[in-house]
Amino acid sequence: MFGREVAVSAVINVVPRQARTQEKQAVLISLDISGAFDSLQYSSIRDRFASLSLFSNISETLLDTLRNRKVEIQTSEVPVHWKQTQGCPQGSCSGPAFSNIVEDEILSVQWPQGVHLQAFADDFAFIVTNNTREGLRMLKNHIDSGVKAIYTDGSKTDEGTGSAYCIREKYGIIASWQGNECTDQLAKEAITKGDPFLLPKPLSYLKSEIKSAALSIWQDNWDNGETGRSTHDIVPRVSNKPLGWNREEIMFVTGHGPFPSYLLRFSLRTHDKSSSGEKGDPMHYATKCRITLFWNFQTPTVPLKLQWLKNILTNNFSRTRLRLLMRFICDENNLIVEDNN
């Protein structure tokens, strides 16, 4: 399945068409493996290549991209790196290809008559047809056992699969959802509390209602959360529209950066002092620190601190100055932080 629109199209067109033309009941079972790309083992990819005898210049080139891979990050102290043995970037050109090579095992299974499987990347869609509900239930159980038997290489965790079921009958669609993501909460409530019903509303109305409900829950969590309060003061309303902040601005607003005050929270330093002996937080480096004097802003009064920060983030010149300040702090961290002894 190539995306949400294709999945919706399959529900609206493929399932009803099969049910009507064959005079059978049909069920669409859509499976999404949570964290499939992150959990994809390089050893599984190599083993699958070997079992399929897929050796050519192209396959060797693909396998070569999995050799000697490592992850490296720059901490405030030293570079840290470790060997990478799993994971393909979602959205990359090679990710779906590697995923499909491993998932070919499930595609090659001889499913019973009446079961059609379509897949793309980590999304699967089973379209099952039968004369009776009992027949559908038996085929569905067969699919369950087949999927569980195949996904035992680390690609699937105990709660790592999200799924959606849609049964087409003569008088409408009965739908229910199962998943492990926060966004499935409303669907789970429908399973446990709701009854099958027809809703004579256009798809646009349903999308609008779902979006409104999701934003309402998001806003409530944002207002009542215990973390991110400094960011909440600046951005009190949630929105799907990005703010346009870059990495340096995010570090300054959240305080999550190479600041002694932040590193002390995670026991990465023994104190929170800057090289001048004062508390090394973002405000200190932006207004008081002698080493960052070239980029310093005027110190605001306490009542105007929030407005001061908002003004910086809405002024292009001030934002550029803030970015240069943060880059200096990141590049010259040994100068602005007191010795960690």
| Residue 295 forms part of a structural domain | yes
| Residue 239 forms part of a structural domain | no
- pTM here? 0.43
Cα gap 161→123, rounded to integer Å = 10
HSE, side-chain direction, 13 A CA sphere, residue 96:
10
Residues 274 and 146 in one domain: no
Residues 170 and 253 in one domain: no
pLDDT in tens, 99-150: 777 777 777 777 777 777 777 666 777 777 777 667 767 766 666 555 554 4
How many structural domains are present in the chain?
2
Residues 192 and 324 in one domain: no
| Residue 241 forms part of a structural domain | no
Is the pLDDT at 223 greater than 90? The verdict is yes
| Residue 133 forms part of a structural domain | yes
* Residue pointed to by tokens 């990050």: 73
Q: What six digits make up the tokens of 39? A: 């959990």
Neighbouring C-beta atoms of residue 154, cutoff 10 Å: 14
Residues 183 and 313 in one domain: no
Residues 189 and 289 in one domain: no
pLDDT in tens, 10-23: 555 655 565 666 66
Q: For the chain, what's the residue count?
A: 341
Cα gap 296→322, rounded to integer Å = 9
Domain that includes residue 40, residue range: 1-198
| Residue 321 forms part of a structural domain | yes
CA 75 to chain CA centroid, nearest Å? 24
Give me the chain's average pLDDT, please.
Answer: 76
